[in-house]
Structure 1
Amino acid sequence: MKKRTATESRKSTETNITVKLNIDGEGKAKIDTGIGFLDHMLELFAFWGLFDLEIRTISADLKVDSHHTNEDLGIVLGKAFKKALGNKAGINRIGFAAAPMENVTANVNVDLSGRGSFQWDLPSFCAAQKGYKAQYAEHFFEAFAKQLGMNLNVKIDNPSKDLHATLEPVFKALGIALDKATQIDPRRKGVPSTKGIID
């Protein structure tokens, strides 16, 4: 099977970010986004998805806040997955997973349909973690889903006021669900769509 890898970069006046991805990896991660909490979440995502993932933020306007870096990381990661998947021939396309942490359970459903959308039900009472806010996660997931062309739905049962305890199972479940969706089904001879194409 052809290696499903990609390198993607984004350079603007606000950020300079590079992502290297191997979809068929071993879960090895080397991540330096400049946002420590997000580094940890993305390490979990790569580990549970068995993606080899390198992310390097070369420069960023973190002195302003984390917003631009956080959103641009979602953009670049989404583009890297889309490039690595090519025309998506043979993939399962749909994946889902649940992951718990303490009393919290995250249920994640993905469809690599070519139509990017994101929906979740995270309540507003989750406190920031090391300066990382719930809305930053929302912006990250939205940018990731849009650029990949992924329908991403997240439901969180018993969310905690501790944002770490709430988001960790989300990133784990997303890794597992996306791994399932990107796996090749040998029975599938072409693109997994009755249209014959996924944009």
Structure 2
Amino acid sequence: MSARTASRSRSTNETSIEISIDLDGTGQTNISTGIPFYDHMLDQLGRHGGFDLTVHADGDLHIDTHHTVEDVAIALGETFREALGDKAGIRRFASGRYPLDEALVDIALDLSGRAHVEWIVPMPESLPLGDPAFDPQLAEHAVSSFAQSAAMTLHVELVRGRNVHHIIEATFKGLARSLRDAVRIDQPGGVPSTKGVL
């Protein structure tokens, strides 16, 4: 099997980003976006996904964290999609129910090549997390931007939860574990689609 790796650079007037991923890694991460809570979530994505993941970003954090969160998510989705290659032999679908203390989140995804996101995660009232602050409302934007750029169908639904940190972290861990399942090779040689292409 050829290496399922990819690297990407993205530079705008607002951010400068370098990303690399190995889908068949060991969960080693090196994350630095300047937003500690976001770093923590991206670390969950790599570690629980079993991906070797490097993300270095410099953004206009003096204005807001929004640009950095969005641009990293877009670049990460593009890099993930590139690393998947033609998707030959992958499981493609994955789903699960993921807890973190009182929070419980349902994740279902399809590496379909069709970008679609359903996000049903009402957030309790909360102060921003960390410093520089990560607005909890950015969790939807980060996950959706990643999924759209990766061209996957993704459903995320909050079953229950009161602590915003727990809800967001359960979401990222659940996404990671579902991606780990979906990218696994379990039918070598064929693309899992009646179309013959994903």
**Same-fold call, TM > 0.5?**
yes
Once residues 191 and 97 of structure 1 are traced to their aligned partners in structure 2, the CA distance between those partners, rounded to angstroms, is 23
Structure 1 residue 73, shift from structure 2 partner: 0.8
Match of 2:71 in 1: 72
Once residues 42 and 120 of structure 1 are traced to their aligned partners in structure 2, the CA distance between those partners, rounded to angstroms, is 19
Structure 1 residue 121, shift from structure 2 partner: 1.4
Once residues 100 and 114 of structure 1 are traced to their aligned partners in structure 2, the CA distance between those partners, rounded to angstroms, is 28
Matched, 1:182 2:195: no
Quote the sequence identity (%).
Answer: 40
Match of 2:13 in 1: 13
Structure 1 residue 134, shift from structure 2 partner: 2.5
Match of 1:100 in 2: 99
Letter in 2 for 1:155: E
Q: Is the 8 A contact 1:129 1:163 kept in 2?
A: no
Q: Which deviations, in whole Å up to 9, do the C-alpha atoms of 1:67-119 show, x marking residues without a partner?
A: 11101011110011111011111111111122211111111111000111211
Larger mean Cα displacement after TM superposition, 76-85 or 124-133: 124-133
Gaps of 5+ in 1: none
Structure 1 residue 172, shift from structure 2 partner: 0.8
Structure 1 residue 123, shift from structure 2 partner: 1.4
Letter in 1 for 2:83: A
Q: Is the 8 A contact 2:123 2:164 kept in 1?
A: no
Letter in 2 for 1:163: V
Once residues 179 and 125 of structure 2 are traced to their aligned partners in structure 1, the CA distance between those partners, rounded to angstroms, is 25
Q: Is the 8 A contact 2:120 2:158 kept in 1?
A: yes
Once residues 12 and 84 of structure 1 are traced to their aligned partners in structure 2, the CA distance between those partners, rounded to angstroms, is 23
Could you say what secondary structure the match of 1:137 adopts?
A: helix
**What number of residue pairs does the alignment pair up?**
195
Once residues 101 and 10 of structure 2 are traced to their aligned partners in structure 1, the CA distance between those partners, rounded to angstroms, is 37
Misfit runs of 4+, over 2 Å: none
